[in-house]
Structure 1
Amino acid sequence: MKLAILSDIHGNLTALDAVLNDVAYESVDKIICLGDIAYKGPEPSECVSKIQKLDISCVYGNTDLYLLGATDIKNLQSHEPSYIPSQYELPYLNWHIERMSKSDIEYLSKLPFEYRFEVDDQSFHFVHGTPKDCYSAIQPHDSIQHVESSIANISADWLIMGHIHKQFIFRSANIILVNTGAVGFSLDYDPRAAYVTIDTTHGKFTLHRVNYDIEKAVQSAKTRNFCFSPEWYGEALRKGWWEPIPYPERVKIDMPN
């Protein structure tokens, strides 16, 4: 079986389309999404709709909970307490919500925290952040103690994560840990969109990077009067790094994951 796993779309439809086109050439059997679908990009509804239309298995990410926190709809499967936005965040969250349908929001509210399955005598565990919650993370430079604490009591051959917008693969405590990187914007100074494929039959794992039309994404931000500065958004996409910018043009979250 061949799997494609992607994460952190963040409302960037241009990047999502480029990744899905690349995935089509890979002839995969199943696509899995690790959350953060809509928030912090100019096309939130279009991205949610595309994931739904393609019937992609998906878990929620932290920014999916941010959006729900600005509505009266909650995720009943959430491992975390309901998110309460700050006064700084609400205008930005509301910009996205006003451009999303009720079915978009309801879809986010029904996403599970984790997804698991077994194939070819291998077990897979998919989450956005870590098996503990969607906000925490495992970084490639983390201590062995932190990594082992984060994956304690996990029974799987593979643990696949998103959230940090950086790709990696390494083994710890007999578990192969993978980060898919991000579709919507990178945090590793490589502006290309990212995803991974796993061929369970042949034991092949591939980190993919995909070029996409960044200027088209920036133009969409301008046309749609994106709540973040389109100029700043464009610079973030081109750099592959999200630089903090002064209030009131950003939310009170310095590093969007």
Structure 2
Amino acid sequence: MRTGRVASVHSWELVTSVDGPGTRMTLFLAGCPLRCQYCHNPDTWQQRDGATTDIDDILARVKRYLPVFEATGGGLTISGGEPLQQPAFVTRLAAEASKLGVHVALDTSGFLGRNASTALLDDLDLVLLDVKSGLPDTYRDVTGRELQPTIDFGDRLAAKGVPVWIRFVMVPGLTDAPENVEAVADIVSRWPNVARVEVLPFHQMGTSKWERLGIEYPLADVHPPESDEVEAVRERFRARGLVTY
């Protein structure tokens, strides 16, 4: 793992119009330092729970889908968990995929952005950056971690001009306070490389995983937001000149 030859892999899937443009092969790496209250994949938290997988096995699968990627404008998305918990593998995989002409996206919270080398950033065509809160106290409540590393990583991406899609999960009673949304907009609007902001309404589809793992789910009684409430949050970003979905 230190050389990036193998990684702890949770799973992979082929998706369309999710995790980047076109049809994507999304690779989920195991291990994450955050403990988000609304996490829908708590089974990716522990790196030891993944399957040790050789990079050649991943690349063979990527090559199999090259015609699909070319036809749809898709590519490879490296996700998690938190992929930057295994930076050597991510760096090596991104470099090899780029050599194949594959569009490479990284889906990250940015908390471990310091692990992303300049070489890695050079091989990324897109970063899906999860900005989980704009207020430090709320971010800490949501994730158990600090906000500043995400901001620092976003600043690096902006300085290098790496295209970014922002993801913000709207959770009633947790992240939807107007002052928190405005704080997210303050952060995001200063990055000229942000192509879009995805406001993702909270859902309960991951509840069964928490139950299966025997972990108490803190948002069990929270209902998804209404569509007009989600649209109102999107409008706050649009007011800053940002494209929203």
**Same topology, TM > 0.5:** no
Higher RCO (C-alpha 8 Å, min separation 6): 1
Q: Which has the higher helix share?
A: 2
How does the TM-score come out when normalised to structure 2? 0.30
TM-score (norm 1): 0.29
